[in-house]
Structure 1
Amino acid sequence: MTTKRLKIERMGYGPEAIAHDADGKTVFVTGGVPGDTVEAETDAEEARFSRAHVTTVLEDSPDRVTPPCPFVDVCGGCPWAHLSYEAQLAAKRSGVVDALTRLGGFSAEDAEALVAPIVAPGEPWGYRNKVELAVGTQRGRTMVGMHAAGSSDVVKVPSCPLLDSKFKGVVKAVQGAMNFLAGSRDLGLERVGIRASRRTKELEVALWGTPGPFPRPQVAKVLGDATKVTSVVRVMQKGPAKARRIAGVERLSGKGSWGELVGSESMRVSAPSFFQVNTRGADKLVSLVMEGLSPVEDEEAMDLYCGAGTFTLPLARKSGFVSAVESYGPAVRDLRHNLDAANLTNVDPIGGDAGIEFPDVDADVIVVDPPRAGLAADVVAQLSDQPARAIAYVSCDPATLARDLARFRDEGVFEPVSVTPVDLFPQTFHVENVTILHRQ
């Protein structure tokens, strides 16, 4: 290993900052802030780049701050916490512009004009409605805590300042309860999910693990005594680590699901279903989508990758009919429940892959909210065959968004008119984007 003196230039799309060494080689630096002068120890040398971590900050950047959490350097959850929030926002917007230019084939001028000012819908700390605790073994005993940065270790922390401050003591209480329950026993757990809502006051603890014997009544009682929990569930999985599938969900106590309010819509979400971790951010996504599409009551809408219905419900309120497609079974069940609870009968919930189960309709407005991998090429082609006047593309990855916008451009039917970055994940490099495409 070698030590290098580096001037940090900018943040990359990832936890690391970017610098160049004396030979001009790109260095991805963990722990650096743009404007810092640092000494960094090399971790890996590749032909075209190297990776390093900061050992000493020789000269602080004006954008370097002291975060409120003492564990940011050992826990992997807040890799940008040493960067001022204003600088985080600027770096995220610049990253979106850069992705459109490098990967989407847009000119720098066009990309800059297309990307709107970044939206910060809430506070930079205490914004999350969900945290996940890792489960590991240390000296023969089960340990519950946060994932350590850069390793598979587990870090025990008393609280997580990313979680809504109303539930500040929940992390410590759940850790204590699980450590007591596990002791020297193996409960077959891989992680523990906590979902908390300030709006509904609901708190759910989800225990993720493998099927097998489990002390259900004891677990429910201990967690109930430790927290004001409204739901405790056990999510059982099977299969290899990278291809887990849900084998079953057991309600151990309470409601068996978690409730949240998004805008004016009340939603229930089961533990396996995806839901935005930033509720105020979800509010903003919905408002941007609805403003961008402006659906009216005689129009037909389509919602692909719809999940539990975050966009489906408001679409159904405004348009005549919605075809909603979701491939994940638990989310489809949640969607049906949420539609029934809202007494919305103008929605066709379709279970299956968006490309295979693409609705046989002529949509006027379309929402797509795919996973990080983005849209498959055949889905872009099918969307381009639609007579729709507008598409709202909600993306959690600037790279796949840029690739897909290039595919839309190649199809020659829809073109983007705006890309609005929304900071749903302060203290991290992640950024959500709402892109509105109009028919050419």
Structure 2
Amino acid sequence: MNSSLSTVMQCGYYDNGVCRSCTLMGTPYDAQISSKDAHARALLAAYPSAQWLPAMLSRPEAFRNKAKMVVGGTIEAPTLGILDATQHGVDLSACGILETGLRAAFDPIKAFITAARIPPYDVANRRGELKNVLLTQSATGELMVRFVLRSTEALSRMQKHLPNLLPALPQLAVVTANLLPEHKAVVEGDEEVLLAGDETLAMRLGEHVLHLRPASFFQTNTDIAKALYDQAREWIDEAEAHNVWDLYCGVGGFALHVAAPGRKVHGVEVSQPAVESARLSAAEAGLADVTFAVGDATGLNAETTIDAIIVNPPRRGLGDKLCATLEATKAETIVYSSCNAVTLARDLEMLPSYAAERIRLFDMFPQTDHYEIMVLLTRRN
């Protein structure tokens, strides 16, 4: 994706000290990329023969497809944003890193909170109902909105006033209430109540559609997520792999994108809802040779016949057990997609049978020092 490297994003919230989440706000975009590139190269300096591909750039602004907004204020004047040091709500409705469709949804949502008389949760006094509002925007502009509540007390009023919210936000595809009765520092609870719309948000990426359930994980930057999937597909195609495993497959983004005639792809993911979503996407696409199973990635059997393996672990990385299993397989190719170059570098040291052939940085998180990085590993002769 092309982006103006000279872009400098300004944010009034940051300048006024209201929100400092974007630690590189005000830094020229080219300087951000240079800093991330230098950080990655220093961590992976042990692989001097690897080819570094040009970094995949993002839009510096309006790139984030998710908004996790803490609710504060009052019924008459709710805030959506964060809490300050005194646990009072700070409204961040104009946050510039959010996609424009998310920002446009905030005022109708506030009006709905007021109309349905849903009291914002008071953290200090542990009373009130509405804790968070979680939004996700699809690539085609549809929205999933989740209201995180302390109890079911407001549900009947919410259902009564939903007919007024839906016309105000015609792009709403999924509306749920999530129940989080405990007073603890988490964003959502385990129970979800569908209030309106479908059970999943359809995230269309080119010819593929990923179905996102309310608790599903999906990358926060849609364009960069698509670029990651496309890069993996290019490398898997080059390897002419016939049997591919996708570990930590989530809702199946990598698995679905690398599917091809004559190729069997199998995804493994610990989350049952994510696997159900992946299976739905594969079935809709008619991909009979793409299968998914609920399981722990570390349980991979080294004796399984695999040509290529895709791994996309959480920030903690693969760990010594899975690295040892990968070493013991006969897979010729590993595509390692990482959100933490520190644990990536550690894991690569535990994979001495593989050589790092190519490396590419993907700027998933502009305005911060975080990034994604993908490495093509091939088995040494």
TM-score by length of 1: 0.74
Q: CA deviation at 1:365?
A: 1.0
**1:271 equivalent in structure 2:** 214
Residue 115 to residue 435, structure 1, CA distance change in 2 (3 Å): same
User: Could you tell me which amino acid in structure 1 is paired with residue 26 of structure 2?
Assistant: H
Whether 1:155 aligns to 2:90 is: yes
More RCO (CA 8 Å, sep 6+): 2
Separation in structure 2 between the aligned mates of residue 96 and residue 151 of structure 1, nearest angstrom: 38
Q: For structure 2, which runs of at least 5 residues remain unmatched after alignment?
A: 122-127
**1:78 equivalent in structure 2:** 22
Q: CA deviation at 1:188?
A: 3.5
Q: Secondary structure at the match of 2:27?
A: coil
What does 1:246-261 align with in structure 2 at a 5 Å threshold? Answer: 246-261=189-204
Q: Does the 8 Å contact 2:71/2:120 carry over to 1? A: no
Q: CA deviation at 1:376?
A: 2.2
Q: Does the 8 Å contact 1:206/1:235 carry over to 2? A: yes
Q: CA deviation at 1:151?
A: 8.1
Residue 324 to residue 160, structure 1, CA distance change in 2 (3 Å): same
Q: CA deviation at 1:242?
A: 6.2
**Cα deviation per residue 1:290-325 (whole Å; 9 max; x = unaligned)?**
112226777101000001010111222355211210
What does 1:11-410 align with in structure 2 at a 5 Å threshold? Answer: 67-72=9-14, 73-101=17-45, 106=46, 110=48, 114-120=51-57, 122-136=58-72, 138=73, 143-147=78-82, 153-182=88-117, 184=119, 186=121, 188-197=129-138, 199-215=139-155, 216-218=158-160, 220-228=162-170, 229-237=172-180, 241=184, 246-294=189-237, 299-318=242-261, 320-356=263-299, 358=301, 361-408=304-351
Separation in structure 2 between the aligned mates of residue 416 and residue 219 of structure 1, nearest angstrom: 56
- Of 311-320 and 372-381, deviating more is 311-320
Q: Secondary structure at the match of 2:191?
A: strand
Q: Which residue among 361, 367, 370 is the counterpart of 1:421? A: 361
Residue 435 to residue 252, structure 1, CA distance change in 2 (3 Å): same
Q: CA deviation at 1:181?
A: 3.5
**Cα deviation per residue 1:155-187 (whole Å; 9 max; x = unaligned)?**
213422222235542233323433554554656
Q: For structure 1, which runs of at least 5 residues remain unmatched after alignment?
A: 1-62
Q: CA deviation at 1:153?
A: 4.9
Q: CA deviation at 1:77?
A: 3.7
**1:30 equivalent in structure 2:** none
Identity %: 26
Q: CA deviation at 1:263?
A: 3.0
Separation in structure 1 between the aligned mates of residue 108 and residue 294 of structure 2, nearest angstrom: 38
Report the RMSD for the aligned CA atoms in angstroms: 3.0
Q: Does the 8 Å contact 1:130/1:193 carry over to 2? A: yes
Residue 225 to residue 88, structure 1, CA distance change in 2 (3 Å): same
Separation in structure 2 between the aligned mates of residue 143 and residue 90 of structure 1, nearest angstrom: 40
Q: Secondary structure at the match of 1:405?
A: helix
User: Could you tell me which amino acid in structure 2 is paired with residue 431 of structure 1?
Assistant: Y
Q: CA deviation at 1:417?
A: 1.4
User: Could you tell me which amino acid in structure 2 is paired with residue 87 of structure 1?
Assistant: A
User: Could you tell me which amino acid in structure 2 is paired with residue 124 of structure 1?
Assistant: P
Separation in structure 2 between the aligned mates of residue 301 and residue 132 of structure 1, nearest angstrom: 34
Q: Secondary structure at the match of 1:117?
A: coil
Q: Does the 8 Å contact 1:369/1:394 carry over to 2? A: yes
Separation in structure 2 between the aligned mates of residue 418 and residue 93 of structure 1, nearest angstrom: 14
The structure richer in strand per residue is: 1
Q: Secondary structure at the match of 1:251?
A: strand
**1:40 equivalent in structure 2:** none
Q: Secondary structure at the match of 1:280?
A: helix
Residue 319 to residue 282, structure 1, CA distance change in 2 (3 Å): farther
Q: Does the 8 Å contact 1:301/1:319 carry over to 2? A: no
**Cα deviation per residue 1:24-61 (whole Å; 9 max; x = unaligned)?**
xxxxxxxxxxxxxxxxxxxxxxxxxxxxxxxxxxxxxx
Q: CA deviation at 1:150?
A: 7.6
- Of 209-218 and 329-338, deviating more is 209-218
Separation in structure 2 between the aligned mates of residue 405 and residue 240 of structure 1, nearest angstrom: 40
User: Could you tell me which amino acid in structure 2 is paired with residue 413 of structure 1?
Assistant: S
TM-score by length of 2: 0.85
User: Could you tell me which amino acid in structure 2 is paired with residue 217 of structure 1?
Assistant: Q
Separation in structure 2 between the aligned mates of residue 154 and residue 384 of structure 1, nearest angstrom: 50
Separation in structure 2 between the aligned mates of residue 87 and residue 153 of structure 1, nearest angstrom: 35
**2:125 equivalent in structure 1:** none
Separation in structure 1 between the aligned mates of residue 142 and residue 302 of structure 2, nearest angstrom: 35
Residue 399 to residue 209, structure 1, CA distance change in 2 (3 Å): farther
